Structure 1
Amino acid sequence: MGPVLSSTPIKIYLVWYGHWSPSQKLLIKDFILSISTPPPKHKPNSKPVSTVSDWWRTVSLYTDQTGANVSRTLLVAGEYADTAYSHGKQLTRLSIQQVISNAVKSAPLPVDHKNGIYLVLTADDVAVQDFCRAVCGFHYFTFPSMVGYTLPYAWIGNSAKQCPEVCSYPFAVPGYMGGGGPGALKSPNGDVGVDGMISVIAHELAELSTNPLVNAWYAGEDPTAPTEIGDLCEGLYGTGGGGGYIGQVMRDRQGRTFNMLGRRGRRFLVQWVWSPVLKACAGPNSLD
């Protein structure tokens, strides 16, 4: 009974908490901007390769009560670098809202009620409440008592130094599966922490867009603990996945794994999401 993010474009405001290299920032932004990048023209006699914009097509199938679809256009509308760790290196869910408050009240980022979402991305030396133990990322909305406004937001952490086998799977796997050795897949861009983050970012963007105020698209009877369109497809990245098998994915000549292409030739491995049409987990290829 709630809204989806149907206004075009969806404006994403990034809060870089801690220290990030320029290449890490560019990789994450390239993924986000790939959502709105039209698929490249296929060369004659070549096999089409799925793109990030193809994947988002599943998310855009969701509508509100008026029939308006989730927007297919996303842009990075603003960025704020909190390199001073304004709230320390151990954050709670509430202090993440204070990080957003700091970003909007000191005016680096605007307050965007209409179609803005705020992503707090924490560096690999920042511990967050329930990180690794229960979550790799989450989304909610800010409380007026904390921020002054109700704004949809998500947090995603870089797990490279804390729990890559949990939050950057399958680029790192638990010890009983071989640790970081033969059981792990090579990440598409050579950065296990950020490549793992990108799949979680995709997961949270899909759920934020279809359930921004936690009263729209979710399964189950409890909106305070919803099962959403990304949760239903945890661990699935390709056709035939299930039971601990991620599914069929592609490999380049260096053995790096991916399941979709982005802008500037980027490659990404991103989990599937639940399709309201197929009533099943879906990736780009499953829509063809």
Structure 2
Amino acid sequence: MAVLGSSSSLLKLFLVASLIQVSLGSSRFFQVSLATRRLSELVQDQTQLLKYHNGPLLSGKIAINLIWYGNFKPSQKAIISDFITSLSSSSPSKTTPPSVATWWKTTEKYYHLSSNKKTSLSLSLGRQILDEKYSLGKSLTTKQIVQLASKGDQKNAINVVLTSADVAVDGFCMNRCGTHGSALASTKTGLIKGSKRSKFAYIWVGNSETQCPGQCAWPFHQPIYGPQSPPLVAPNNDVGLDGMVINLASLLAGTATNPFGNGYFQGPAEAPLEAASACPGIYGKGAYPGYAGDLLQDPSTGASYNANGANGRKYLLPALYDPATSSCSTLV
């Protein structure tokens, strides 16, 4: 089993310039510019970094439903679905360390520190819904993202909307690479009339390969701003999809630990730093602006990675803030 690494006694935060809250009707959204590279360095006292705001964390047996919007090849879908399967591998001992499942275990520490220490989260791959004919067009609003997310199950689920490289989304590439939030479930979910409507969690991530790989697929593409180090080779040979995995992983960690805006975060609720966004640009020990850290390298392809997954997959996953050690924790 891999041993999770950590940063030094002072956490270096690279704050993203634009974090925006959008409210539309009954929905609340946390738009996170997870891969934007307009970053400034800030040294903070870690002991007060992520505060618990006494709200619920995502718990129980949760299915992750994938809603594919636009044109994705079968090989691209497999990269994402294998990643989801890797999060809670039933046989982690069969996966060569360091593993995706070990990376995810850092989120369990948030549950141990919360007000309800008995809660836990178990993730699994749920349904995969295809919208290959662009039912809402190729230019989407945030409201339409929620509309697409509502196609998935609205109970015991996270609905993940994945948009293809030819789809534009409000704010995409300008101030965000993905979004996570919650919305009210429809009245068709079997609730008793007059009872309080429940919420469901959702995530959106876009394929940035043709629109802004320097912002949303770094370090597999040279950044638009900052130090210009050579790009790394993507572990699944797909810059856009490997970049989507990074952003999806970050948003999943935020969804688990701050699903409804009153869990673990730092700063204003409309622009929160969360479990992964508190450690941007860090993928291995020794990371600094423009350098992802000391990573593993596949000798046959030259690809850089830090986690092994299902079906022989390799992934690059972001550091997570470890509340037990008050530091950014990396797998390598």
265-274 or 57-66: bigger deviation: 57-66
Q: Kindly provide the CA deviation profile for residues 189-245 of structure 1, in whole angstroms up to 9, marking residues without a partner as x.
A: 10000001001110011110111111111112x212211111111110001112332
Q: 2:258 aligns with which of 194, 211, 220?
A: 211
CA contact (8 A) 1:62 1:69 kept: no
The alignment status of 1:57 with 2:110, answered yes or no, reads no
In 2, distance between residues paired with 1:176 and 1:237? 19
Give unmatched runs, 5+ long, in structure 1. 43-47, 104-108
Partner of 1:100: 149
After TM superposition, the runs of 4+ consecutive aligned structure 1 residues lying more than 6 A away are 145-148, 176-179
Letter of the 1:126 partner, please give it: V
Tell me if 1:110 matches 2:153.
yes
Instruction: Give 1:69 deviation, angstroms.
Output: 4.7
Instruction: Give 1:49 shift.
Output: 3.1
Does structure 1 conserve the Cα–Cα contact (< 8 Å) formed by 2:227 and 2:290?
no
Aligned AA for 1:94?
A: K
Give the partner amino acid of 1:171. F
Q: CA deviation at 1:66?
A: 1.3
Name the one with the larger strand percent: 2
- The 3 A distance-change label for structure 1 pair 158 and 146 is farther
Alignment of 1:139-218 (within 5 A): 139-143=180-184, 150-174=199-223, 183-218=230-265
8 Å CA contact 1:230, 1:274 repeated in 2: yes
Is the Cα–Cα contact under 8 Å of residues 296 and 306 in structure 2 kept in the other structure?
yes
TM-score (norm 1): 0.86
Structure 1 residue 165, shift from structure 2 partner: 0.9
Q: 3-state DSSP class of the match of 2:250?
A: helix
Q: Is the 8 A contact 1:273 1:281 kept in 2?
A: yes
**How much does 1:132 deviate?**
0.9
- What is the CA deviation profile of residues 105-149 of structure 1, one whole-angstrom value per residue up to 9, with x for unaligned ones? xxxx4331xx31110000110111111111111101124689986
Aligned CA distance change for structure 1 residues 53 and 59 (closer, same or farther; 3 Å): same
Inter-CA distance 178–240: structure 2 relative to 1 (3 Å threshold): closer
Instruction: Spell out the pairing of 1:8-157 with structure 2 (5 A cutoff).
Output: 9-37=61-89, 38-40=91-93, 49-63=97-111, 64-71=114-121, 73-101=122-150, 103=151, 109-112=152-155, 115-143=156-184, 150-157=199-206
Question: Any idea what the Cα deviations from partners look like across 1:80-117, whole Å, max 9, x if unmatched?
Answer: 1111212111111111112223x2xxxxx4331xx311
Q: 1:265 aligns with which of 312, 316, 325?
A: 312
> SS of 2:203's equivalent?
strand
Q: Supply the AA of the counterpart residue of 2:73.
A: S
Unaligned runs of 5+ in 2: 1-53, 189-196
Counterparts of 1:188 and 1:202 in 2: how far apart (Å)? 15
Asked whether the 8 Å contact 1:50–1:259 carries over to 2, the reply is yes
What is the distance in 1 between the residues matched to 2:187 and 2:160? 17
Flag the structure with more relative contact order, 1 or 2, with Cα contacts below 8 A and sequence separation at least 6: 2
Q: CA RMSD in A?
A: 2.2
* Distance (Å, rounded) in 1 between the aligned partners of 2:272 and 2:291: 25
Identity of counterpart residues, as a percentage?
39
C-alpha separation in 1, matches of 2:234 and 2:187: 38
For residues 257 and 40 of structure 1, the distance between their equivalents in structure 2, rounded to whole angstroms, comes to 22
Aligned-partner SS, 1:10: strand
Is 1:139–1:154's contact at 8 Å kept on the other side of the alignment?
A: yes
Q: Once the 2 structures are TM-superposed, how far is the Cα of residue 178 of structure 1 from its aligned partner?
A: 9.0
User: CA–CA distance in 2 between the matches of 1:57 and 1:18?
Assistant: 32
Match for 2:57: what amino acid? Answer: V
Partner of residue 33, structure 2: none
Q: Which amino acid aligns with 1:218?
A: F
The alignment partner of 2:274 has SS state of coil
CA 1:145–1:94 in structure 2 vs 1: closer, same or farther (change >3 Å)?
farther
